[in-house]
Amino acid sequence: MEEVSIKKEDILVSEPLSAEQQAKLKPIEVLERLKSGNKAFVEDNLTIRNTTERVRKASLGQYPKAVILSCLDSRVPVEDVFHSGIGNLFVARVAGNVVNDDILGSLEYACKVSGAKVVLVLGHEYCGAIKSAISDVKLGNITTLLDKIQPAVKEAGLTFKGDKTASNEAFVEAVCNANVLLAIDQVRKRSSILKEMEQKGEILIVGAVYNMKTGRVEFLTQRD
């Protein structure tokens, strides 16, 4: 296997990649780098990332390692969570980290056109969109968005034992996890481009949940 020309310490420094460096990366290596960056974030072992020099480097082109589909929530600073700097990550944000046509197009662009190696669907604890879906909130265009989370509410409810309301943190967590996994299913079913890239080993499609109290990203075991 060809050696990737990025030093281990650069994982935390998060220098913008060149096209050549990006092309040499394997999806599993990118996933490990995301995990390493999160470990640095959790342990408060951070380095300066966004200097004016890096801004200038990134202005010449972008070759991110991964694309993250995250919730809109302001308490989830995605680049910080993975200790990643300018030019290293694509981030698509929408309440409830749901999948729609525009999100799918963005993920396809990130991977097929711009060379990202990992698609990560990132949910989080105490998600307001999840709680609102559980409570069946009806309000303007929010209603349509929450409808996309309802399948996760139903799926989690099939096996969950206990109070199935938004006031029960355990049920909210169960729905959050189900919503992430269902989003991954939607990506594979609705994007032939990403599904084919995954089957060829060109990308990984994974899911995780951000722990608000610890800052740790817990990766989910995917179903068959």
Question: Domain extents for the chain?
Answer: 10-218
Per residue in 26-63, pLDDT (tens digit) is 999 999 999 999 999 999 877 666 556 555 555 555 68
**Each residue's pLDDT tens digit, 59-79:** 555 688 999 999 999 999 999
Angle made by CA atoms 127, 133, 138, in degrees to the nearest 5: 125
Is residue 19 within a helix (H) or strand (E), and if so which, with residue range? helix 19-24
CATH superfamily of 10-218: Carbonic anhydrase (3.40.1050.10)
pTM: 0.88
